[in-house]
Amino acid sequence: MTQTPTFDKPKVELHVHLDGAIKPETILYYGRKRGIALPAETAEELRDIIGMDKPLSLPGFLAKFNYYMPAIAGCREAIQRIAYEFVEMKAEEGVVYVEVRYSPHLLANSKVQPIPWNQPEGDLTPDEVVALVSKSLQKGERDFGVKVRSILCCMRHQPCWSPEVVELCKKYRHQSVVAVDLAGDETIQGSSLFPGHMKAFEEAVRSGIHRTVHAGEVGSADVVREAVDTLKTERLGHGYHTLEDGALYARLLQENMHFEVCPWSSYLTGAWKSDTEHPVVRFKQDEANYSLNTDDPLIFKSTLETDYQMTKQSMGFTEEEFKRLNINAAKSSFLPEDEKQQLLDLLYKAYGMPPSAAAEPHP
């Protein structure tokens, strides 16, 4: 696909999962090298088995990871390679700044209970996973000229991991890690309030670690309220169902809450029913603070272009709106203020906007 991108200017991406952005070739390579059975022989076949063309439920989508994560998890070389190749992929998509997220525990095979993906116990700890990913992201940053930071995920079904996740955020905060996230199956009743998660997010607030939470993707507006009021999130992963509670939505607009929107993902996970108006159309109309993101491009067979094309063709998005949302993404990034300003200056210049005119009063 060599046609001109829908938005052929520098882009910022804030919501993409490392373990959902792996090249099928890399999965095959490590499956063979490590003697781990995979459901396909070629990259094309593998992409079709892992990938989705029509909507599934969120749990159905999450089950896709079982096919290929055993080929990557627990292997130092594989983990370094997927992190490095990720940066290369983003460079090809015209991304100048990206925050990539992952669960250190889901890539480890030591000092993690239970050991994920039915792996035998090994000697790769969550701590070392973060060190390996950070090192490879930094190498990719140098080689491909994309600024990269990472976010460590707590998993809703494993609250016992969460306190360690926030400790790793603190330990590696000067080596690419900028925030903590809560990810996984949002339909687990009351999972935002599990003590392990609450304790971790309280510690994040206390330690000045930035926070984002997957909420309101398939869960109700109540899950969004818990993320905002109890977990003190600064951004919302998806957040679509906020719109079901008018008062909450009005409040979040007033507070300039950032919504990490993933349009193509929301179609395939069933988070958005395609016979209704997409929440991002409402966000656009209300001049809400949001970004466009790929989420899990391996599984959704997509690139960032997919999401830009979808919003332009089906929802009437304009070049001006793309500029606005990328500037909002940069402003809502978890970079320190001086680096954030450099990123904004880069965008203003590329977009032909005078920085003063682009400055808007914050509520």
Task: Provide the annotated active-site residues.
Answer: 217
Residue 221 tokens read as 């507006």
Torsion region of 255: left, alpha or beta (phi above 0 gives left; psi -120 to 50 gives alpha): alpha
DSSP 273-320: -TTS--HHHHHHHTT-EEEE--B-TTTTT--HHHHHHHHHHHH---HH
* Angle (CA) 159 99 24, round 5°: 85
Query: How would you class 145 by CB atoms within 10 Å of its CB: exposed for 0-12, middle for 13-18, buried for 19 or more?
Result: exposed
Q: Which helix (H) or strand (E) holds 238?
A: strand 235-238
Residue 237 tokens read as 């992963």
Rounded distance between C-alpha atoms, residue 86 and residue 100, angstroms: 9
